[in-house]
Amino acid sequence: MTLIYQTDSFIVESHDKPFVSREEGGHLRISIKDKSIIDRTMLSPKVAIELIRLTMIIGKALEKAMTIRDVPIIKVNYQDMGNWAFKKQEKPFLHVHILGRSKDAKIQVFPESVQLPDRSTGFYENFKPLNKEDILEIKRQIAQIIKENKYDPLFWELNQI
């Protein structure tokens, strides 16, 4: 995983083994830093607001960046699951998958739901992660988006909770 961005409570990374290949839209993951938090019901109001704000910023950045990179994103999906940790008898932790959905997709075809078979099936074998240029463009887009008034932490009252 490649670190893309972080806040007080979360890290944003590209996914090395994506659920959506880069040419079909790409895959990012937002993970909570405090791994004792299993799901969103355990979040404080401040951290819950931080997560929603961050998903909006990252989803918008992925859509803009990949469109610039000639991957025509038509929709971004947000998935909060964590089920696979139970297969390995690991403790799950809160994380959200941000999945770009391209109108040109051949495997994870839009508007169908993303297919998520077990990794052992080989389904994801030829999926490509985001490349360095994609990641640089996503970082550029994040830097621009966080300057928008809509995403100002004061507007979200993050300093007041």
CB neighbours of 17 closer than 8 A, spacing ≥ 6? 119, 124, 127, 129
The answer to whether residue 120 is domain-embedded is: no
The answer on pLDDT for 161 being more than 70 is no
- At residue 160, the pLDDT reads 61
The answer to whether residue 160 is domain-embedded is: no
- At residue 130, the pLDDT reads 98
What's the whole-number average pLDDT of the chain?
Answer: 94
The answer to whether residue 22 is domain-embedded is: yes
Mean pLDDT score, 89-109: 94
The answer to whether residue 21 is domain-embedded is: yes
| pLDDT confidence bin for 114, thresholds 50/70/90 | very high
Q: Do 55 and 98 touch, CB atoms closer than 8 A?
A: yes
- Residue 52's domain comprises 2-112+125-151
The answer to whether residue 161 is domain-embedded is: no
The answer to whether residue 119 is domain-embedded is: no
The answer to whether residue 73 is domain-embedded is: yes
- At residue 27, the pLDDT reads 98
CB neighbours of 82 closer than 8 A, spacing ≥ 6? 38, 39, 92, 93, 94, 95
Q: How many domains would you assign to the chain?
A: 1
Q: Do 10 and 31 touch, CB atoms closer than 8 A?
A: yes
Q: Do 33 and 9 touch, CB atoms closer than 8 A?
A: yes
Domain holding 52: CATH number?
Answer: 3.30.428.10
